[in-house]
A and B are shown apart, each in its own frame.
Chain A
């Protein structure tokens, strides 16, 4: 029981209330906060100030404390997790900001109730939820023993369910173990500050368990997660940059899945860059180019917001705007593995499709891929399963899907990238080439063991190449439009108007909303 004596009169009680609130706002104390500030790291409250529109934070549970052990009541201000509501660009959001200076923002009874309240309210009332992660995991000894477990963990059967009713965002801003790690993996967008760590358990605990020194960066640093696991979408240098990235991400998102994404003004000059596309697309079919240059020529100026740029680089995914409306762009990048889709590329695209389907964001696919990467490495990582996850996601995706075949589209990848009725409309550039297999390899396959001369092989290859042009698709109406590269922006803007989901007011069926968050 609390030993704080509550005075008799209302005036005295109000004075005492202000003192208690002021004490709670001190977090883990001036020294700890000063050390963070000196290291250039924001604290739980300054992060909220940096995230929300000024003066809009409505806090819940400021006087909440840990009540498991009486001695903790005085030393757990806000119980280590600052929670509440506020505005980002004039739109309501829920926020959970972990205060590492209070028992490492570890999870215990009171703060779990606080998170539950923000989460329920955001979901039921329809606005995004933001987790500012920096937590050490379940609080010890509160959660210890069978009674501890029976009381604390596992008493909210919806704690880690993701139904994608509203957008979730997570920032990895320090040591993120336990709930901060879990929510980062459940979020639609996760940004990580360099130096932070995202892992199941701390390096110290991992070292203890396996008897080997584990370095934090190896266990869960930004390189691991941006390049190998793909668990984070963007990496930044500072807390301030992370908060700016969250605000930027939310500017593309509807508040909930029953709304369409917000429309923005079209920056002046957005129609000009498309004329540069022919200079970017090389004359030689063997020459690589960075497809992001083409994306930037097509979408509204400065609007392309890329996801996972260092992970699965054979594919590029990102949100952008076309004539002010939000679209999800999926493109092959010939700069990486010739644009051949690998396991990481498939995982990245699948996750992106799920997000776009869940939040009513039309898909634009820009195709230049010789197929899927084949070989032992991919097979060990379940490549056939990943390709089918991607395929199923695409077929279940009920937002408008537009596919533009810029150059190569071969084999099964032709279907995965929207060919064969797997998109609502296919356009081809005159540079498009489509077949089951690149003629170079296909020639070897059909002449295998037949002793064909080089001249005969060349004739076969040239014949295959002639039969692989854009005209074949256009003549049998497997492509609905043939467009010049420089007309792609104009075409997409018009086609998006045609394919708009009028009957549901732009709302998709969200068939992927309950899919997992990692693949």
Chain B
């Protein structure tokens, strides 16, 4: 089993989370949407697997490279 960190490419905040812990994801699926510079930035799954844990929730401020959630595969 491998745990993959899903990180933020931008500084901003979490706008909405579109999936739940335990959901199956495919690489490219949108897990959550961030807000940065008044733009909605989708966070996509880098790998296939199952959502293991969320480290953030809506309205949280986030930094570049911050781990947002993990995927178990």
Q: Please report which residues of chain A, range 331-360, place their CB below 8 angstroms from some CB of chain B when the two chains form the complex.
A: 334-338, 340
Q: A285's closest neighbor in chain B, by CB?
A: B39
Q: Given the complex, which residues of B lie within 8 Å of A305, measured CB to CB?
A: none
A288 at the interface (CB under 8 A from B): yes
CB distance from B7 to the nearest CB of A (A): 13
Q: Please report which residues of chain B, range 31-56, place their CB below 8 angstroms from some CB of chain A when the two chains form the complex.
A: 36-42
B17 at the interface (CB under 8 A from A): no
A286 at the interface (CB under 8 A from B): yes
Is chain A's interface secondary structure helix, strand, loop, or mixed overall? loop
Query: Do residues A338 and B42 form an inter-chain contact, with CB atoms below 8 A?
Result: no
A289 at the interface (CB under 8 A from B): yes
Query: Do residues B10 and A289 form an inter-chain contact, with CB atoms below 8 A?
Result: no
A287 at the interface (CB under 8 A from B): yes
CB distance from A401 to the nearest CB of B (A): 27
B9 at the interface (CB under 8 A from A): yes
Query: Do residues B37 and A287 form an inter-chain contact, with CB atoms below 8 A?
Result: no
Query: Do residues A338 and B9 form an inter-chain contact, with CB atoms below 8 A?
Result: no
Q: Given the complex, which residues of A lie within 8 Å of B36, measured CB to CB?
A: 288, 337-338
Q: Given the complex, which residues of B lie within 8 Å of A284, measured CB to CB?
A: 40
Query: Do residues B41 and A335 form an inter-chain contact, with CB atoms below 8 A?
Result: yes
Q: Given the complex, which residues of B lie within 8 Å of A337, measured CB to CB?
A: 10, 36-37
A334 and B36 alpha carbons, distance in the complex (Å): 10
Query: Do residues B37 and A340 form an inter-chain contact, with CB atoms below 8 A?
Result: yes
- Chain B proximity mask over A171-192: 1 for CB below 8 Å, otherwise 0: 0000000000000000000000
Interface centre among A337, A340, A440 (most CB of B within 10 A): A337
Query: Do residues A335 and B9 form an inter-chain contact, with CB atoms below 8 A?
Result: yes
Given A287-B42, A288-B42, A289-B42, are A313 and B9 also a contact pair (CB < 8 Å)? Answer: yes
A361 and B39 alpha carbons, distance in the complex (Å): 33
CB distance from B9 to the nearest CB of A (A): 6
Q: Given the complex, which residues of B lie within 8 Å of A335, measured CB to CB?
A: 9-10, 41
Q: B39's closest neighbor in chain A, by CB?
A: A338
Q: Given the complex, which residues of A lie within 8 Å of B10, measured CB to CB?
A: 335-337
A336 and B10 alpha carbons, distance in the complex (Å): 6
Q: Given the complex, which residues of A lie within 8 Å of B40, measured CB to CB?
A: 284, 286-288
A340 and B37 alpha carbons, distance in the complex (Å): 9
Q: Given the complex, which residues of A lie within 8 Å of B41, measured CB to CB?
A: 288, 335
A26 and B38 alpha carbons, distance in the complex (Å): 61
Query: Do residues A287 and B39 form an inter-chain contact, with CB atoms below 8 A?
Result: yes
CB distance from B3 to the nearest CB of A (A): 21
A336 and B41 alpha carbons, distance in the complex (Å): 9
A334 and B41 alpha carbons, distance in the complex (Å): 8
Q: A440's closest neighbor in chain B, by CB?
A: B38
Interface centre among A288, A337, A338, A340 (most CB of B within 10 A): A288
A288 and B43 alpha carbons, distance in the complex (Å): 10
Q: Given the complex, which residues of B lie within 8 Å of A340, measured CB to CB?
A: 37
A88 and B44 alpha carbons, distance in the complex (Å): 38
Q: Given the complex, which residues of B lie within 8 Å of A338, measured CB to CB?
A: 36-39
Q: Please report which residues of chain B, range 1-20, place their CB below 8 angstroms from some CB of chain A when the two chains form the complex.
A: 9-10
CB distance from B63 to the nearest CB of A (A): 14
- Chain B proximity mask over A318-341: 1 for CB below 8 Å, otherwise 0: 000000000000000011111010
Q: Given the complex, which residues of B lie within 8 Å of A289, measured CB to CB?
A: 42
CB distance from B40 to the nearest CB of A (A): 5
A440 and B37 alpha carbons, distance in the complex (Å): 13
A466 and B59 alpha carbons, distance in the complex (Å): 32
Q: Given the complex, which residues of B lie within 8 Å of A287, measured CB to CB?
A: 39-40, 42
A288 and B10 alpha carbons, distance in the complex (Å): 11
Q: Please report which residues of chain A, range 265-308, place their CB below 8 angstroms from some CB of chain B when the two chains form the complex.
A: 284, 286-289
- Chain A proximity mask over B17-31: 1 for CB below 8 Å, otherwise 0: 000000000000000
CB distance from A281 to the nearest CB of B (A): 13
CB distance from B10 to the nearest CB of A (A): 6
A340 and B38 alpha carbons, distance in the complex (Å): 12
Query: Do residues B38 and A336 form an inter-chain contact, with CB atoms below 8 A?
Result: no
A289 and B42 alpha carbons, distance in the complex (Å): 7
A282 and B52 alpha carbons, distance in the complex (Å): 28
Q: Given the complex, which residues of A lie within 8 Å of B37, measured CB to CB?
A: 337-338, 340
A17 and B41 alpha carbons, distance in the complex (Å): 66
Q: List 12 A-B contacts (CB under 8 A).
A: A286-B38, A286-B40, A287-B39, A287-B42, A288-B36, A288-B39, A288-B40, A313-B9, A335-B10, A337-B37, A338-B39, A340-B37
Given contacts A286-B39, A286-B40, A287-B39, 15 further A-B contacts (CB under 8 A): A287-B40, A287-B42, A288-B40, A288-B41, A288-B42, A289-B42, A334-B39, A335-B10, A335-B41, A336-B9, A336-B10, A337-B10, A337-B36, A338-B37, A338-B38
A-B pairs, top 6 by smallest CB distance, nearest first, are A338-B37, A338-B39, A288-B41, A287-B40, A288-B39, A286-B40
